[in-house]
Amino acid sequence: MLEEGYRKCLVWPPPKIKSKPRLVLVSRAGAVGRVILNQDNVIKAAQEEGFDVVIFEPSAYTYLCDVYRLINGSHAIMGVHGAALTHSLFLQPDAAFIQVVPLGGDWLAKTYFRNLAKGMKLEYMEYKIQPNQDVRLDIGRFRSCLRSAYAKAKRLMEHQGKEALASKTSNGSLPSSWALIQSLQGEPIICDRTHDNYDWCFLNRPTILDSNSTTFYSIGSQHSQNSTTKPTIMEKVRPYPRKWENFTMSLVSEITLTTSSIDKPCEIYHESPALVFSVSGYTGNFFHDFNDGIIPLYVTISTLFPDQDVTLVIADFTNWWYSKYEVLLRAFTKHGIVNLANQTSTHCFPSAAVGLISHGPMTILPNDHPFHKSSFLEFRSLLEIAYSKCHATPPPPLKEGKPRLVFMSRAGKVGRVILNQHEIIKAADKAGFDVVLFQPTKFTYLCDAYRLINGSHGMIGVHGAALTHSLFLRPGSVLIQIVPLGNEWLADSYFKNLANSLKFEYVEYMIRAKESSLAEKYGLNHTIVTNPNLIIRGNWSALDSIYLKGQDVTLDLNRFRTYIEIAYSKAKRFID
């Protein structure tokens, strides 16, 4: 029951376990009686015998969550008979317990703590002082007690190591995210700023969030671990994975993490760590919503919180974004979402991570973590879990024997419009497809989109953000990407890679110069048409204005029929 009560509360992290068994020395000081007068010599002897010694001097105001985490994670405890030894209740079974018994304390020592040790299956040892000692331990005599305690504590430590190793290779429960991060990092704040596209920091201790200053402060410890005062650490992060774009990052809120404290009480307690990210930047573009938000969120949780026990804290919150992705966010965490923009209360967390990890454009590097495998296919399974249960408008019924092809339509002055779309649809229909036109908007209900696309057998569209909906296709489906002039690198990096990761049958239609509206505008022999790479080279503005927004396509029907027939044969195999 003690373990159930204390293991979830906010705590200051105890000293990191070394390769030695840890001995908690319960210290007494002042005119309270039963003080070990040569305590320094006792500590030195314990260290020489192989213990990692931690001094613990409790008071009436000691925070028991901190104490529990320290003592439950240790392998032995020692102290003079007294009330403070009641903390031995927090030891694990088989831990070593050394009770120093002063003159006249035999009956009390036996009645209280010796019986307690027996009931808790602790390895109990008793050191009785001699009449001339006045609670000044004879180090030579005490060493034999220490050696016995060390041997017992070492056995416990080795047994725990074997159990931990076995749990990693079994199909048992997942480790807590706190324990996972603790095993990787020991510093109060750690940051990774080595990547081109993102920064990430982690506050490795209980923290209180002050939303007015968007700052995570440390919650101070109330028990002594014999540690020295260290200087304040402060780190600032803009939690959006496009750090090479200065203007974009200027739109993202800056979050501060610090080891200093704040004179405010905790008003809302969370049992899980905080993960902070922003939905500013390019949010609103469906491709960027996933490429810079949802996919890095999946990567970060899979990497750092494989048990998914994490509370999402969203900076630069917008209601429309939350409404659009609420169903999917519920698949990432069982906890409520914290909107950083409208908080009037302080929130407390056991730790906090700020920033998202990105593996690159539309990329999830496979991870065979023993507790949680992650890949694009695993991500696709998460999408299915999220969207297969929500209410959706039924899509058109499938036509018997005909694979359904979702035609991603673009219209208006957006660029990359298929000008002969009607003829292309007729060609696809003649090839054997059941063609469904789909023209998504910023407010498209994703449960409807998922239901339509997941139940289809293929998708076709010009390179652009809307092709991000191909995430909803099932593995084995056909994806036809039409690639305008100057879009080759983007097409490969984004949707060709995605198709390979999700095991699609990928078909690429690279348009020729005469199929581009740029040929009519500039002429077939103009450098813009003949050598797009020369124009684009490091010039995003030219790529955007000329080749993305300034170009439409008219497909060569005779040439296109060859591609659509290949796509049909692949889709037919999938449907069969």
> Other CB atoms closer than 10 Å to residue 276's CB: what's the count?
25
Q: What's this model's pTM, rounded to 2 decimal places?
A: 0.72
Give the pair of three-digit tokens for residue 400.
């018997």
Domains and CATH numbers, the chain: 2-168 (3.40.50.360), 178-387 (no CATH), 404-575 (3.40.50)
Best CA proximity match to 78, nearest among 103, 106, 113, 48: 113
3-state secondary structure of 541: helix
Is the CB of residue 251 less than 8 Å from the CB of residue 286?
A: no
Best CA proximity match to 38, nearest among 145, 125, 129: 129
User: What's the DSSP call for residue 340?
Assistant: G
Q: Is 401 left (phi over 0), alpha (psi -120 to 50) or beta?
A: left
Digitized pLDDT (tens) for each residue of the chain, 576 residues in all:
776 666 555 555 566 666 789 999 999 877 778 888 899 999 999 999 999 999 988 877 677 877 888 898 899 999 999 888 999 999 999 999 999 998 888 888 888 899 888 888 999 999 888 765 457 888 888 888 889 888 888 888 777 665 544 443 344 444 444 444 554 455 789 999 999 999 999 998 899 999 899 999 998 643 333 445 678 899 999 999 999 999 999 999 999 999 999 988 889 999 999 999 999 999 999 999 999 999 999 999 998 887 788 999 999 999 999 999 999 999 999 999 999 989 889 999 999 999 999 999 999 998 765 556 789 999 999 999 999 888 888 888 999 889 999 999 999 889 999 999 999 999 999 999 999 999 998 889 999 999 999 999 999 999 999 999 999 999 999 999 999 999 999 999 999 999 999 999 999 999 999 999 999 999 999 999 999 999 998 788 999 999 999 999 999 999 999 999 999 999 999 987
> Other CB atoms closer than 10 Å to residue 165's CB: what's the count?
10
User: What's the DSSP call for residue 341?
Assistant: G
User: What's the DSSP call for residue 516?
Assistant: B
- DSSP for 55-93, written as a single string: EE---TT--HHHHHHHHHT-SEEEEESSGGGGGGGGSPT
Best CA proximity match to 276, nearest among 289, 257, 295, 260: 257
